[in-house]
Structure 1
Amino acid sequence: MVNKILCATRNGIGGEIVQVQANFVRALPAFVITGLANSSIQESKQRIQSALHHIGFHFPALKIAINLAPADLAKSGSHFDLPIALLIALHKKGIDTQEWFAFGELALDGTLTYNDNIYPLLLEIALRHQNAKVILPTSGQELFCHLPHLQIYYASSLQEALQILESPESTPAKTQTTLNFDTIHIGDTDYYYEREFPLDFIEVKGQEIAKRAALIAASGFHNILYEGSPGCGKSMIAKRLRYILPPMSLEEMIESVKLQALSAQKPSYTPLRPFRSPHQSASKSSILGSATQNEAKPGEIALAHQGILFFDELPHFGKEVLESLREPLENNELVVSRVHSKISYPTAFLFVGAQNPCPCGNLLSPSKECRCTPKDISSYKSRLSEPFLDRIDLFVQMQENEQDPKPSLDSATMQQMVFHAFSAQKQRGQSRLNGKLSEREVEEICILDDATQRILLQARERFNLSHRAIQKLKKLSRTIADLDNAKDIAKSHFLEALSYRYIS
C-alpha cells in the first residue's frame, strides 16, 4: 500500500502542490527519495532518521521508497522533512493522510522549526484548496494565524504532529481576522495604520509646494520627481512620505509578508508600507529581480510593491535600469523572462525620484555659481528619456533655502488628509488608488466638466501632451478633488494638476 500526504514547493514566486508518496518494499533495507529532490531534501534522510529514533520508532527491515510527485518538477526546501517523517512513522497504522498538508523542518531531536519557504507556499494553498487541513510548526504561529481559508494545526515536534493525525477529535486553531493596530473601517473592510512618525514633515522647513505635492502623491499613489540643489530637502521629504501613506488591509499585509519571505527578510505583519531605496550602483538584476529554472528572486521593484521605490540621484542610475522602469510604472507589473522560466511580479508602487538641476547642483542656487557648461547640463538632462518622464505624474522644482515663517503641516495632520482622500476613493468602489487606475476606470471616475475640458484641449495643443500625459492629469485632478472633499473635478483642481506637469 502506498501512503500519501501533501506538501508544496517553490515555483517562481508562487508554488506547486506536491504529493509525497511512501512505499515499503521487501528488499535490502534502504531509504531513497526520488522526484527531482535537491540536496536540502536528500539531506533530510539523516534528520528524519534521528528524529524518528528520538521518539522510539524503529525502522523496519524494508526498503523505504519516497517519491515526490509530479516527478518532473524540481523540488527544494527542508520543509519536506515533516511529511516524509509522518508517512514513515504511520506505516501500518492505516491512517488516511492524503487530504492533509504538512510543512516543517526537523531538528535531530524531533523538534519542528519554521523556515521562510513555508509562508509563500501557504498562500498558494489557501487560494487553491479552500479549508485545507495543514500541520505547521508552532514557531511560525505569529505569521500563520492570519492566513485565511485554511484549517491550521500547530505542532512543536514530530510527536505532536503524529498525535494530531492519530486523534480524530483534534481541532484546528482559530484564524485571527484582526490585528493589533489602529484601524479605520470603510465598507466591510478594516484598514490598519500606525500613528508613530519617527520622521516628521514638521522638520522640513518651508518647501510648502514640495510638501503639497508629497501629500497629493501619497493620497493617490502618483509618481513624483523632485529637482533641486543639494541640501534643499528632496531626500528629507521622500523619507517622510512613507509615514503618511494610506492604510493597509489584511490582504495587502499578507501579500507584503509573502514578498518579505521570498527576499529572505524576516517576515512580520506591519501596516507600514515598504520603502526601498537602492543605490545608483545597483545592478539591473538586483533592481528587476532574477529568475532561474528552479527559483525566482524578487528585486527592489517587486519588494516596493504597495510602498515606495525611491531613486536618489536619479540620472546616475544606469540607462538600462531607468528604461526598464517604464513597463512596471505603466502596467503595475513586471515580467522577467528567461530561457527556462517566465515570472510576473506585481509592481503597484509609488515611485519617488530626486535629482540635481545640473551635474554640479548649483544651477538653481541663488548664492552659488553653476560651473557647468550648456553641453554638460544638456547631457545630464538627456539621461532621462521623454518616455520615462512621461510616466511621472508630478514634477516639483525646489528652491534652495526656501523658508516660511508660518507653522507648517506635521505628518499627523497630513496622514489624516491622506486618509480622507483614501476613504473617498474606497467609497466610490475603487479597488485601486487614483494613480493606478486603468484607462477605462479613468473615463468612469475622472470626469471633467465642459469648462475644464476646454482648458485640457488648450493645454494639449500648447504643451503637446501625449495621451498618457492627459490620462495622468485626469487622475491627478481626481486626487486633488478628493483632498478638497469635492464630488466633481473643478477647474481649479485641473489647473493645480497641470502646474505639476513636467514640460520639456
Structure 2
Amino acid sequence: MKTVRCATYEGIAAKVVDVESTLTKGLPSFSIVGMASTAITESKERVKSALLSNDFTFPPKRITFLLAPSELAKSGSQFDLSMALLILLNAVDTDLGEWFVFGELGLDGSVKENIQLYPLILSLANQGLISKALVPYESLEKLSKIPNVAFYGVKNLNEAVEILKNQENFEPSIQKSEIDYPSYEIANERYYYMKEYDEDFIDVRGQEVAKRAALIAAAGFHNIIFEGSPGCGKSMIASRLRYILPPMSASEILDSAKLEVLQGDEPSFSPRRAIKNPHHTSTMASIFGGGSHKAKIGEVGLANNGILFFDELPHFSKNVLESLREPMQDGKIRISRVNSKVEYPAKFLFIGAMNPCPCGNLLDAHRECRCSDLEIQRYKNRLSDPFLDRIDLSVVMQNVNVDDKASYSSKEMHKMVVEAHIFAKRRGQISLNAAMSDKEIEQYCTLDAEAQSVLAMAVDRFKLSFRSIKKVQKVARTIADLEKSQLIKKKHILEAISYRRR
C-alpha cells in the first residue's frame, strides 16, 4: 500500500486528505471510497485514458483508492494526478511521505491547471501543513506567491513520474515571487499600497465634514454611516474610500487573492482592498453565507480586510441588520448547518448610507418633506440601538451648493492615511485602531488630563455605554495619529465625540 497527500475544502479552509491505494489480485476493477464527489469518481476514466495514451500499462488488478478521513466529504478534480501516480509507482521503492500531489489529468496525460488550487494550497500553507508539492506547471505563477512551499511543476504524467522516481535529481521549479508594489518595512513586516486612484475625492465638492470623517474612518478602519438627502454624495464618498485605505501586509494580500478565487475571479495579488455592495433585497444566505448542505461564503466573508457597503441601509431586513452585529464586533462570522459548522474571518470596514426619512427631503432646505412624524420614526427605528452602538462615526451630510469647491484629492488623503499607519506601527501596535483589544486600548490610548476630563463629562451627559466609550477612545486615537501625536488631547476627544450618533 502506498500513500500520497492531497486536500479538499471544508468551508474555505483546506483539510488534508490521504490518498491510499491497494492493487490486489482478483477480477479487474477500479473503486474509489471515502465520500467522493461525482468529479472524483469520474476521474477513473481520465486516469485510465491518461495511462493508456502514454504507453503505460493499466494493471489488470483489483484497484482500490481510499480518501481518508472517510467521514469528510471530498470534491474537486485535483485528485486525478495522485491516483495515477499511485498506480504507476505501486511497485517502485520511493518515499512519498512528504509529498502533496495536485492536478487534473487530460485524456492525453497532460496535467491541467485548476483555479481552485491556489486557495487550497494557501490554506494548507497558513496552517503549516505543507512543505513540498507537485502541481500543474501552468499554476506556478500564481502559486509562487505562497511562502515556505517548494513547488515542482509538471506538464504531463511522464514528468511527474520522473520527479517522484528520482527525487534527489530535481530542484523546485520556482523561487518565491515578490509582490511588485510600493512598500515599506516596519518591525520585519512589509506593507504594500497602490498609487492609482480610479475614483478621486477631488470630484466630491463641498462636504468637508463628511470627507474628514471618511479620512478618519479609512485611517483607523472605523465603521461609518452617512446620512443625507438623495444626491448629496453619500455613495460617491463610499466608493472612493477603498482607494485611501491603509496598506496591506503580504499575508492580507494572499488572503484577498484567495477570496477572489472563491468568487470565481482570477487572483490579482494587488494591495487594493475589496469592496462588497450587496443590494437591500439580498437574502441572508447571500450576505452571510450558507446553503442547505454546504456552508458557502457570503458577501460578509468576501469583504474580509476590505469594505462592506450597505446603501439604503434602513431598507435591509431587520434580520440582516441584527445578524451583522456579531461580525462587526468579533471580526468573524459563524455558520451552522446540519452537515457543517464553519467560521469565516470577517474583519471589514462597514459603510452605511441612508436618507433622513422615507422621502429623503427632511434635511433639504429647498424641498418639502412629505413624511409624517410616525413614518419618520418607523424609518429611524429600523436601526436598533445595539446596531448603532457598533458604529464609530455618524455623519449628517450637508446640502449641495453650486458654490461648493473641491478640496483634498485621494492622493493627498491616502498619503495622510499611510503616514498615520506608519506612526501607529512604529509604536508597536499590531491591530488597526478600530480592532484594538481592551489591553491595546489601555496601552496605546493615553489621554492627557484635559482629554480625560472631557471624556468623563461626555460619559455623564450622553450616558455612553462601555462599548461607546471604547469607540470614542479608538476614534480619538486615529485622529491623534493623523496629527502624529502620541498623547490623545482634548481636541481629539471633542472631535471623536462629535461623530457619535445621538
CA deviations over 1:320-347 (Å, ceiling 9, x no partner): 0000010111111111122232211111
- Spell out the pairing of 1:441-452 with structure 2 (5 A cutoff): 441-452=440-451
Which residue pairs with 1:257 in the alignment? 257
Matches of 2:128 and 2:329 in 1, distance apart? Answer: 33
| Matched residue, 1:342 | 341
What residue is the counterpart of 1:283 in the other structure? 283
Structure 2: distance between partners of 1:426 and 1:355 = 34
Offset at 1:131?
6.0
Deviation at 1:427, TM superposition (A): 1.2
String of CA shifts for 1:134-161, please: whole Å, max 9, x gaps: 0011222222001112111111222221
Moved over 3 A (4+): 127-131, 402-407
Mapped contact 1:393–1:500 kept (Cα < 8 A): yes
Q: Deviations over 1:199-225 (max 9, x none)?
A: 000000111111010000000000000
Q: Report the AA paired with residue 233 of structure 1.
A: G
Does structure 2 conserve the Cα–Cα contact (< 8 Å) formed by 1:291 and 1:342? no
Give the letter for the 1:491 counterpart: K
Superimposed CA distance per residue, residues 184-242 of structure 1 (whole angstroms, 9 cap, x where no aligned partner): 22232221111111100000011111101000000000000000000000000000000
Tell me how far 1:114 sits from its aligned partner: 2.3
Taking structure 2 as the reference length, what is the TM-score of the superposition?
0.97
1:501 is aligned to 2:500:
yes
Q: Which residue number corresponds to residue 246 of structure 2?
A: 246
State whether residues 205 and 403 of structure 1, in contact with CA within 8 Å, keep that contact through their aligned partners in structure 2.
Answer: no
Alignment of 1:110-129 (within 5 A): 110-129=109-128
Residue 117 and residue 291 in structure 1: after superposition, are their counterparts in 2 closer, same or farther (change >3 A)? farther
Instruction: Report the 3-state secondary structure (helix = DSSP H, G, I; strand = E; otherwise coil) of the residue aligned with 1:190.
Output: strand
Distance 1:247 1:404, change over 3 A: farther
Q: Could you tell me which residue of structure 1 aligns to residue 151 of structure 2?
A: 152
Q: Which one is further off, 396-405 or 30-39? A: 396-405
User: Structure 1 residues 102 and 410, CA, compared in 2 at 3 Å: closer, same or farther?
Assistant: same
Q: Note the C-alpha offset of 1:125.
A: 2.6
What amino acid does structure 2 have at the position aligned with 1:124? S
Moved more, 394-403 or 327-336: 394-403
Q: Displacement of 1:407 after TM fit?
A: 4.8
Q: Which residue of structure 1 aligns with residue 308 of structure 2?
A: 309
Contact 1:12 1:291 in 2 (8 A): no
Secondary structure of the residue aligned to 1:18 is strand
Alignment of 1:91-490 (within 5 A): 91-129=90-128, 132-167=131-166, 168-176=168-176, 178-290=178-290, 295-402=294-401, 407-490=406-489
What secondary structure sits across from 1:297 in the alignment?
coil
- Determine the C-alpha separation between the residues in 2 that align with 1:183 and 1:94: 48
Cα distance, 1:127 vs structure 2 = 3.7
1:292 Cα offset (Å)? 5.4
8 Å CA contact 2:144–2:176 kept in 1: the answer is: yes
Unmatched 5+ stretches in structure 2:
none
Q: Distance in 2 between matches of 1:395 and 1:303?
A: 25
Q: 1:227 to 1:37 in 2, by over 3 A?
A: same
1:224 aligned partner, one-letter code: I
Q: Tell me if the contact between 1:201 and 1:411 (Cα under 8 Å) persists in the aligned partners.
A: yes
TM-score (norm 1): 0.96
Q: Residues 262-321 of structure 1: CA distance to partner in whole angstroms, max 9, x if unpaired?
A: 33333231110000000000000111111555x331111110010000000000001100
Contact 1:229 1:357 in 2 (8 A): yes
Quick one: distance in 1 between partners of 2:287 and 2:414?
A: 29
3-state SS of the aligned residue for 2:296? Answer: strand
CA–CA distance in structure 2, aligned partners of residues 238 and 142 of structure 1: 34
3-state DSSP of counterpart to 1:64? strand
SS of residue matched to 1:485: coil
In 2, the alpha carbon distance for the partners of 1:130 and 1:502 equals 47
> Take 2:129 and 2:290, find their aligned partners in 1: how far apart are those partners?
31
- The answer on whether the counterparts of 1:291 and 1:341 sit within 8 Å (CA) in structure 2 is no
Provide the C-alpha distance between the structure 2 equivalents of 1:445 and 1:173, rounded to a whole number of angstroms.
46
Residue 462 of structure 2 aligns with an amino acid whose one-letter code is: F
Secondary structure of the residue aligned to 1:261 is helix
Q: Secondary structure at the match of 1:296?
A: coil
Secondary structure in structure 1 of the residue aligned to 2:441: helix
Does the CA contact (< 8 Å) of 1:292 and 1:341 recur in 2? no
What CA RMSD, in Å, does the superposition of the two structures yield over aligned residues? 1.5
Residues 262 and 297 of structure 1 are in contact (CA less than 8 Å); yes or no, is this contact kept in structure 2? no
